[in-house]
Amino acid sequence: MYLLVILEQILFWGGLIVFLVSLAMYAGRTKDFKSLLMFWQPTIEFNPKEFKINRTGMTMMIVGLALRLAVNFIV
């Protein structure tokens, strides 16, 4: 049980870091900081590598949240 709690933390925070790295890669490449601040508008155009890293980070965070819900309902 404790392993799942630790895994959930690692997945969520690791995913957040990976997600932020993808945004930093985009900002470093394009110098378009306005798109990062206006995240509700679809103006970010990732290259394929940034896109894969971005989706990996988001997936890790979603799995971490799902694991948190699962652990809370198990207990």
pTM: 0.84
Is residue 24 within 8 A of residue 46, CB to CB? The reply is no
Ranges assigned E (strand) in the chain: none
Cα–Cα distance for residue pair 70/20, rounded to 1 Å: 26
Q: Is 37 exposed, middle or buried (0-12, 13-18, 19+ CB in 10 A)?
A: exposed
- Between CA 61 and CA 68, with CA 62 as vertex, the angle to 5 degrees is 90
Cα–Cα distance for residue pair 7/53, rounded to 1 Å: 20
For residue range 15-72, what is the model confidence (pLDDT) as tens digits?
999 999 999 999 999 998 888 888 777 888 899 999 999 999 999 999 999 999 988 8
Residue 54's pLDDT is 92
